Structure 1
Amino acid sequence: MLTPGTRAGADGMRYVWAQADYRRLVSCAHALGAQPNDVILAALTGALRDWYAGYGLRPDGQVTALVPISIRRTNERDTHGNRIVSSRIGLPIDEPDVRVRLNEIAQRSRTAKRLATHALLPSLLQLLPDPILSWGLQRNLRPNVNTLLVTTVAGPPVPLCVLGRSVQQILPIVFLPAGHRVAVAISRYAGTSYVCFTVDRTLKGADSLPEMWSAAFDELCALAGPAAAESETTVSAAGARD
């Protein structure tokens, strides 16, 4: 279902999203020995698995996600600008066990982080001419190389006001690369995590992805036990917008 398609124009895209309480996400991750982004990716893997199964398709193999990896060092924490590289993470949609899926993703994320933060990498990247870097980026966005683009956008940790009115939501939106059917943006604002899907309007059942992500996230929280139990402040909802 995520096989390459034609390029979707602006009128051929739809935005659907899920949201969850960030404290619950962190509690779940800590209880399961993972990072919050690992839990988000594991829930995404479960959602894609259920999505495939809903259409009678066997979720064989893996979906390869292109994800950002921060290479910012501790002494660069207060510096401006992005310090990230892209890395490929396999999402094991063929794995039926939710805990095994999370463990595999967490291990792959740690390996990608270790390779991306190698001391020589920044120097090597600086030696490469711009045309080579541009070619590498374009190649990574090809659907036959990476099935899914997943990006993370840092959001304000505290509520904002604009012209005297409080900002209720800030939804992250990511572009849909040529030939791709789905792209995912992850963000956090004022204690709420958002997972926003940019989908090709012609893709069957894509509107159900947020609900499936929420269900997969709840399954992970149940696995984590009381530490991630749902509370009154927990938000688990979905929305859609053209």
Structure 2
Amino acid sequence: MIETHCERLSAMDASYLVLEKPHTPLHVSATLIYEAGPLATPDGGIDVAAYRRATEAVLHLIPRYRQKLQWIPVVGHPVWVDDPEFNLGYHVRHTSLPRPGTEEQLKRLSARIMAQPLDHSKPLWEAWVVEGLEGGRFAVISKIHHCMVDGMAGRDLAQILHSTDPAERRTEPAPPWTPRKAPSAAELLADEVGRYASLPGRLLRGLGQARGELGELGRDLATRVGSIRQTMGSMRELPSQTAINAPVGPHRRFDWRDMPLGQVKRVRRALGCTINDLVIATVTGAVREFLLVRGESLDGIDFRIAAPVSLRAEGEREMGNRVSQWFVDAPVDEPDVMKRIEKIHAATRALKASKQALDVDLIMGIAEWTPTILMSLASRAATGGAPYNLMVTNVPGPQQPLYLLGARLESLYSQVPIAENTALGIALVSYAGKLCWGFNADYEAVPDLELVADAVERSFAQIAAAVGIDLDGSASATDSPTA
């Protein structure tokens, strides 16, 4: 008898599929820019065949890349199964800018590619090799669905194709691969029924294991219940609606900026806060400027930033999402730079003490056994009820230069997906001595996306000036004229 194989998605991973809409795809994207180096061809192109061969040679290390979704009948929960019709040529694609292509043209191309949903009948990833970029460069635009991998694990996956050694080449042949047989619909349903039938026994075993911890549990119970109640309250109470919180359509804009990481760390040390605090403060100042330029009143505004928090333990490298959320109240109505930072620092300290991120993770853990909770969260998001105004992600990346088949990775810009009525998202990655900012926005709602990107640079310069650090002589410690 041939054995079958499948892997059940966690509630958090599955939630990204439930929440996704045709005009708000939930894949994580990035635009990576390289110096062509040894991948350059005599005609000025890029050796895409070498990239495909290298990708094929490592797919056995990331089996999820050859798996597709299958749905359990009746309950509608997804599982991963091997795709017997997997075709690498479908996933690794090749296109070109009109030579010499500019970064502005690359941004527009990235936005168009990122706006297109992934085909759920195939493995949920794509990689577009883009040649023709000015300066003897090329780009790779990658798309991976959020249900496959979160930002921290995704960084590990990207490193599979990269090396710190510019001389390293992947020349080994791809090992043979035979797709495993997927379970039938009846087998999937029977397994799911058995899973739910085992719930009482799981609960009893959990109680038995907890018997020796009842004293600690009793002391912690009231705190945890109150914390969860507070967390659910913050998810239920909607923030103020702003120009950023406009209806989202099918098209996108994408922009990016760089900051020297040394300058960022210098300002952080002067402030005595974390990098995340500094990032949120910088974004808060930029949002303040953007909303004032749009003519919005900031009196009494409740602006909330969602900041993902990784729950992945050191050395934990399994595919799947191990992230939770902080919801940070951003004082965009505060004109004083230092007071904004103090308020943000106090807010993040309070969030750490409240264990909000762990409580959101616990709520999603309950959703493993209570699909109605997951559907309730999905329903709220689908009706424009996201409990935040803006998503800001910050992923630490490698600080040494990386090479793809000898081609030096110059920059990488991530794209965080945007949700219904949340028309702007900001993603940061630190790499090789710089902080790379990626700005993703709805095409119609934020036609002036470059204003947001420029405002981020001004906001950071103002914070630096407030602690006596002059970055380039272009900013003062006072707020901008519009503020």
Give the CA deviation at 1:90.
1.2
Higher RCO structure, 1 or 2 (CA under 8 Å, sep 6+): 1
Q: Residue 109 and residue 162 in structure 1: after superposition, are their counterparts in 2 closer, same or farther (change >3 A)?
A: same
Task: Report the more deviating stretch, 139-148 or 182-191.
Answer: 139-148
Contact conserved, 2:326 with 2:357, CA < 8 A, in 1? no
Q: Which amino acid aligns with 2:421?
A: G
2:256 corresponds to which residue? Answer: 17
Q: Distance between the aligned counterparts of 2:404 and 2:431, measured in 1? A: 15
1:198 corresponds in structure 2 to 440
Which stretches in structure 1 are left out of the alignment for 5+ residues?
A: 232-242
Match of 1:84 in 2: 323
**Count of aligned pairs:** 224
Report the equivalent of 1:36: 275
What displacement does 1:69 show?
2.1
After superposition, give the CA deviation of every residue in 1:86-117 in whole Å (9 maximum; x if it has no partner).
12111111000011111111111122223237
Q: What is the root-mean-square deviation of aligned Cα atoms in Å?
A: 2.7
1:6 is matched with: 247
Structure 1 residue 63 corresponds to structure 2 residue 300: no
Per-residue displacement from partner, 1:102-137 (whole Å, max 9, x unpaired)?
A: 111111112222323788886665344352246446
Match of 1:212 among 441, 448, 455: 455
Aligned to 2:146: none
Q: Is the alpha carbon distance of 1:160 and 1:130 closer, same or farther for their aligned partners in structure 2, counting shifts above 3 Å?
A: farther
Per the normalisation by structure 2, the TM-score is 0.42
Cα distance in 1, alignment partners of residues 343 and 356 from structure 2:
20
Q: CA deviation at 1:59?
A: 2.4
The one-letter code of the counterpart of 2:268 is A
C-alpha distance in 2, partners of 1:199/1:119?
29
Matched, 1:48 2:273: no
Q: Which amino acid aligns with 1:210?
A: A
Deviation at 1:214, TM superposition (A): 0.4
**Whole-angstrom distance in 2 between the partners of 1:118 and 1:162:** 35
TM-score, normalised to structure 1, is 0.80
2:412 match: secondary structure: coil
Distance 1:185 1:3, change over 3 A: closer
The partner residue of 2:419 within 167, 177, 186 is 177
* Structure 1 pair 140–112 and aligned structure 2 pair: CA distance change class (3 A): farther
SS in 1 for 2:258: strand
Partner Cα separation in structure 2 for residue 92 and residue 107 of structure 1: 11
Residue-by-residue CA offset, 1:115-170 (whole Å, 9 max, x unaligned): 23788886665344352246446646845521112223342222111122111101
Gaps of 5+ in 2: 1-241, 473-483
Percent of matched pairs sharing the same residue: 24
Compare 47-56 and 136-145 and name the one that shifted more.
Answer: 136-145
